Amino acid sequence: MVSFSQLAAFAALTFVMIVIPGPSVLFAISRALTVGRRDALITVAGNAAGVYVQVVAVAFGLGALVERSATVFTVIKLLGAGYLVYLGVQAIRHRRSLHGALHAGGEVRRTRALRVLWDGFVVGFANPKSIVFLAAVLPQFVDPAAGAVPPQILILGIALPVIALLSDSAWALVAGTARTWFAHSPRRLELVGGSGGLMMIGLGAGLAVSRPQ
């Protein structure tokens, strides 16, 4: 159904797009700085799941609608931007309580995993730029003559969340390690938590003013 050459070509393009630090990398880093490595990795997993739902949407026509409709694009981007700003504000509000919430090992006291997973999922799914990229590029790697176009898109699209999961997890681990050092000082940790929150607010603001490419 999907040849190795098709999958390899799309995976190569996806890899180039992902390894260049962008919004998803900054989101992973900001989450690692504000909530620690464990929750950052769960957030990354949720983000990857949200991106794959976009792949499903592209397979069944929603991606083309987002690409062509300025209204739909704007609604999705504002939802994503608003949620990023909300997460950033929450991080800034609670930055002074970070040190008291730490375990001896330097991680934030565990929050509900499903909530953290949901945070990442919402941001991943509500990223209009990735769904426009998928809608514009992914169909070019499909072979219509082979039939069953939606299944081809679903198989090819796996490359994006898988590569993003590996790349963003690496960034989250690096940022989480740096955060552990800051955890030795309440003042430094408060500064890191506030900086991570500002980073998320900045990402949200940038997304809010973005336009379809």
Place of tokens 């590996």: 166
| pTM for this model (two decimals) | 0.78
Write the CA distances from 19 to 117, 124, 145, 168, integer angstroms.
Answer: 22, 17, 32, 9
Burial class (CB in 10 A: 0-12, 13-18, 19+), 106: middle
* Rg of the chain, C-alpha, whole Å: 18
| pLDDT, mean of each 10-residue run, the chain (213 residues) | 85 83 80 84 95 91 72 79 84 62 46 84 86 84 82 92 93 83 64 74 80 60
CA torsion, points 111, 114, 116, 121, in degrees to nearest 10?
A: 180
Q: What sign does the CA torsion over 33, 34, 35, 40 have?
A: negative
At 30 the pLDDT is: 85
User: Do residues 125 and 54 make contact, with C-beta atoms less than 8 angstroms apart?
Assistant: yes
